[in-house]
Amino acid sequence: MLELVAAFICLTSLLTYVNFRFIGLPPTIGVMVTALMFSLLLQGLSFIGYPGLEERVQELIGQIDFGDLLMNWMLSFLLFAGALHVNFNDVRSYRWPIGLLATVGVLIATTVIGSLAYWIFGLFGWHISFLYCLLFGALISPTDPIAVLGVLRTANASKPLKTTIVGESLFNDGTAVVVFTVLLGIVQLGETPSLGATAMLFAHEAIGGVVFGGLIGYLVYRMIKSIEQYQIEVMLTLALVIGGSAMASELHVSAPIAMVVAGLIIGNLGRNKAMNEMTRRYMDGFWELLDDMLNALLFALIGMELLLLPFSWLHLLAASVLALAILLSRLLTVAPAIVLLRRWRTVPRGTIRILTWGGLRGGVSVALALALPLGPERDLILSITYIVVLSSILFQGLTIGKLVKHVTKDAPAPVGTDCAH
């Protein structure tokens, strides 16, 4: 395991350097692109006289349980680090669009994408059960705007827009994981539970995650408040994420949701009432560094996964059609929530377009696809998911900044207000 970790961290560091030195793409997207190019290079070398090289790298990557690594560990770290820097008052101000998109929006997206996938798979001659299509809808519905937030900052996106995107991404990952877990439980049981049992399972995972995250977050906040020693305070937050994730798994509550809630408590109560200036500086530096490193590792993993998956032109064509269907479902999810919100408050111009195009799919979707039971359905869904995630990050991630600038350049907001359109 130590050799595996060493090899992969060295490779990711090299890919990060190559992107920064020679390519210049946004960090996470650039790392994924360079890993993708590295994968294609290995496949090319295998064809021209180095037949064992690709197999050796495949064996190395195959030892990584990507689904377990991301879902049980990396996602908790990433969500906690993201929540640390979110102002709770901002989230509360935009709680309705965030809440609608992260709960009702995920359920609508799961149903719409699942129904369209069932129809599209049938067109290509793949007979996949509707339940597996709903599983695909659940795993592809969470947005992953980690790759796009930096672009939004450089494009001077409005505060309401950034708050909505960040808040939605923090909570819809957890909601989508819960929906996926419920559907996967139905598949593994082989029978459909009652509506009441399904609702109870959903409530246990989601509400249990909120309560558990609140308890451990408040406990660590009180511990931090009782001392003035930044090394120990940073260690306490690290223990909170590692231990909290392990305990959440044992309690069968949502670790992602728990880490978001705990992160909001430490980032707001802890930052304002329990930390001095030195502790804040070290806490921010530690978690920003960890966040950047894990993002680089995550997107390098996504790029390298190409070596392990079977592809055909039929997969590519089907994934392209599904990518359009997913964008349509995103529009159907975003538009009603924003139109409803406009009845009560001012909404920045172009919000629907930006939220639709900015709904990137990422590592969470790939990890959930890897968690499916072994079989032909898993192989198909995993390949399709991978292509959709790649196209989403490359096309939408690299163009969202231009869209934000285009939408906002002709309509500057008056001082102290948002512009409505």
Q: Is the domain of 92 the same as that of 14?
A: no
Q: What is the pLDDT of residue 217?
A: 96
Q: Is the domain of 70 the same as that of 58?
A: no
The range of the structural domain enclosing residue 38 comes to 1-63
Beta-carbon count within 10 A of 154 CB: 11
Question: Is 8 inside any structural domain?
Answer: yes
Q: Which stretch of 47-51, 83-87, 256-260, 288-292 has the lowest confidence by average pLDDT? A: 47-51
Q: Is the pLDDT score of 62 beyond 80?
A: no
Q: How many domains does the chain have?
A: 2
Question: Is 415 inside any structural domain?
Answer: no
The token pair that represents 353 in the structure block: 């377009």
Q: Is the domain of 17 the same as that of 121?
A: no
Distance CA 220, CA 32 (A): 35
Q: Is the domain of 8 the same as that of 122?
A: no
Query: Could you report the per-residue pLDDT of 354-412, keeping only the tens digit for each?
Result: 888 888 888 788 888 888 888 889 889 988 998 998 888 888 888 887 888 888 775 55
pLDDT (mean) for 134-156: 74
Q: Is the pLDDT score of 415 beyond 70?
A: no
Q: Is the domain of 157 the same as that of 201?
A: yes
Q: Is the domain of 169 the same as that of 39?
A: no
Q: Is the domain of 230 the same as that of 343?
A: yes
Q: Is the domain of 45 the same as that of 102?
A: no
Q: Which stretch of 110-114, 184-188, 204-208 has the lowest confidence by average pLDDT? A: 184-188
Q: Is the domain of 224 the same as that of 86?
A: yes
Q: What is the pLDDT of residue 41?
A: 81
Q: Is the domain of 70 the same as that of 51?
A: no
Question: Is 116 inside any structural domain?
Answer: yes
pLDDT (mean) for 281-300: 86
CATH number of the domain enclosing 172: 1.20.1530.20
Q: What is the pLDDT of residue 66?
A: 72
Last residue of a domain, one of 34, 63, 92: 63
